[in-house]
């Protein structure tokens, strides 16, 4: 028996939770599907903070300007304007809902991160900002009886009828079988695809399934060549690539090479506070120059008392690995961190498929352009999650939920056998390694052609849906990176090292079609919500 609800939200990070609350506030019944526990998302892992105009010496124009500079000419100016102006309202709302940002003497504390011209980064519990925001949003969502949280419910595909998205097929955690749920609209908030790479700061759930599902449903996907690599992930053998927040460099941490020399001055006058793409490439160049696999982050000029208070999670994690951040140089190297590209949307979260909306990292709204400004991601999820919820309600006011009898009357069990699980693991490992080595921080045509050939060969095998999604995403990133014959933002090609004004366009990918271009990401698809 198929299920019915008013709206389906896939994902429970900041975008998904904020969209769900917006829908429920408007009287809608909402089912929130997540493939892990409700709190498990990229949002929960976000350390540094959220950028917002709230301090006395800041304004929206300055925040907008910093965002546009970081985006390397590909930001949509209207989208950025919405982000920085509406962001203040929604952050104040978060505070009203009980989010405990750090304060001193009752006043909010702001810090500075790379490429920001002002101290405008709010943080919570030092370096656990995302976790605190998720806590507050989950608590707020639980106050809405109309929101039904369904953890461990892995969405597998969209149900599209007569060109409109009317539901989702997901894996029921109790039945261990596929099940269908129908709705007036679906809001996709599944996060990014950092796990495409061998080394990533993202949680295991960040496999990009939402992007692949949208692609197979016929949606347009934009700017997949732009991947942001965080410069400073902890680089220890047999340890996860734990993120050492950019806020550490904002508080004065410097980078040293294997010989103890501070090196960022050789690459950029902004030193450690240059944009992330520049710092990441500088680290790669320095590691190659010195023949080593790591550089070091040095924040030992700060007192241990300050660091324990400002970065408690980082302090304790490093301590677990026998590192004292107040006394030791911390081994770091870049790791994949954020996907600027994604499902193409308008300014209200509408995708190119009626009934399907999206918000957060899974999208390409035009906010980030070719390179995301630090700490704008949480703000984007908050602002555009709310906007997607509003437009979904307005657009679907005349639409009635109608269950569709699908061919599979008796859902097929999805319990994998050991052989298929081994194949999926092998595919994942190989794709991650090839992406890291050939479609990573520094790219060139020869390496990417080899990667493309291998991915195309893998895609011909009899793969599970998850593996098919994974390989398809790798193909999309590689094809877009091969297509863009210039260097811009998070996309750097050693064979085309300069930015080219003739490439100030967006890449658009759609199933069954060649890459097309658009001068703008956003398109007006419906009425203002």
Q: What is the rounded distance in angstroms from the CA atom of residue 279 to the CA atom of residue 263? A: 10
Dihedral angle sign, alpha carbons of residues 170, 171, 174, 177 = positive
Q: What is the rounded distance in angstroms from the CA atom of residue 137 to the CA atom of residue 118? A: 27
Q: What is the rounded distance in angstroms from the CA atom of residue 201 to the CA atom of residue 295? A: 17
Q: For residue 477, with 0-12 CB atoms within 10 Å meaning exposed, 13-18 middle and 19 or more buried, which class applies?
A: buried
Contact 9, 149 (CB under 8 A): no
The verdict on whether 276 is a catalytic residue reads yes
Contact 262, 301 (CB under 8 A): no
Of 18, 120, 179, 276, catalytic: 276
Residue 139 CB partners (closer than 8 Å, separation 6+):
97, 98
Contact 493, 478 (CB under 8 A): no
Q: What is the rounded distance in angstroms from the CA atom of residue 503 to the CA atom of residue 486? A: 7
Q: What is the rounded distance in angstroms from the CA atom of residue 509 to the CA atom of residue 512? A: 9
SS3 66: helix
Contact 109, 102 (CB under 8 A): yes
Buried b (16+ CB within 10 A) or exposed e, 41-68: bbbbbbbbbbbbbbbeebebebbbebbb
Q: What is the rounded distance in angstroms from the CA atom of residue 503 to the CA atom of residue 481? A: 12
**Per-residue three-class SS string for 197-249:** CCCECCCCCCCCHHHHHHHHHCCCEECCCCEEEEEEEECCCCCCCCECCHHHH
Active site residues: 276
């Amino acid at each position: 028996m198929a299920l019915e609800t008013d709206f389906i939200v896939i994902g429970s990070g900041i975008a998904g939770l904020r969209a769900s609350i917006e829908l429920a506030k408007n009287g809608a019944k909402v089912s929130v599907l997540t493939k892990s526990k409700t709190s498990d998302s990229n949002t929960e892992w976000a350390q540094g903070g959220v950028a917002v105009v709230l301090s006395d010496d800041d304004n929206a124009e300055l925040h907008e300007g910093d965002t546009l500079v970081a985006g390397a000419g590909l930001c949509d100016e209207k989208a950025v304007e919405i982000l920085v102006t509406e962001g203040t309202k929604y952050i104040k709302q978060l505070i009203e809902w009980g989010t405990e940002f750090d304060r001193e003497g009752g006043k909010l504390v702001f810090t500075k991160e790379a490429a920001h011209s002002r101290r405008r980064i709010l943080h919570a519990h030092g370096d656990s900002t995302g976790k605190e925001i998720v806590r507050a949003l989950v608590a707020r969502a639980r106050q809405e009886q109309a929101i039904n949280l369904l953890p461990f419910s892995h969405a597998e595909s969209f149900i599209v009828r007569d060109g409109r998205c009317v539901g989702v097929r997901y894996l029921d955690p109790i039945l261990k079988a596929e099940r269908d749920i129908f709705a007036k609209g679906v809001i996709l908030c599944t996060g990014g695809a950092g796990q495409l790479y061998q080394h990533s700061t993202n949680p295991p759930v960040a496999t990009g399934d939402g992007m692949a599902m949208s692609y197979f449903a016929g949606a347009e996907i934009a700017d997949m060549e732009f991947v942001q690599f965080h410069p400073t992930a902890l680089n220890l053998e047999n340890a996860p690539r734990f993120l050492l927040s950019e806020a550490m460099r904002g508080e004065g941490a410097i980078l040293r090479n294997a010989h103890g020399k501070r090196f960022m001055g050789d690459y950029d006058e902004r030193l450690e506070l240059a944009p992330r793409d520049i710092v990441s490439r500088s680290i790669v160049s320095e590691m190659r120059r010195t023949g080593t696999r790591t550089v070091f982050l040095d924040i030992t000029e700060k007192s241990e008392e300050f660091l324990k208070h400002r970065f408690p999670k980082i302090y304790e994690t490093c301590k677990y690995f026998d590192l004292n951040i107040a006394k030791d140089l911390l081994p770091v190297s870049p790791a994949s961190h954020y996907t600027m590209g994604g499902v193409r949307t308008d300014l209200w979260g509408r995708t190119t498929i009626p009934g399907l909306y999206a918000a957060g990292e899974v999208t390409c709204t035009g906010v980030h352009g070719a390179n995301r400004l630090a700490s704008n991601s949480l703000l984007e999820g908050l602002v555009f999650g709310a906007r997607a919820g509003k437009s979904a309600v307005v657009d679907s006011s005349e639409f009635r939920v109608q269950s569709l009898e699908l061919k599979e009357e008796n859902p097929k069990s999805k319990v994998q056998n050991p052989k298929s699980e081994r194949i999926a693991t092998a595919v994942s490992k190989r794709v991650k390694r090839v992406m890291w080595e050939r479609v990573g921080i520094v790219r060139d045509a020869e390496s990417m052609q080899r990667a493309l050939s291998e991915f195309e060969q893998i895609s011909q095998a009899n793969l599970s849906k998850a593996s098919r999604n994974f390989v398809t995403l790798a193909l999309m990133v590689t094809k877009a990176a091969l297509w863009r014959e210039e260097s811009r933002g998070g996309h750097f090609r050693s064979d085309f090292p300069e930015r080219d004004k003739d490439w100030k366009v967006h890449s658009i990918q759609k199933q069954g079609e060649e890459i097309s271009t658009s001068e703008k990401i956003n398109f007006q698809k419906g009425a203002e919500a």
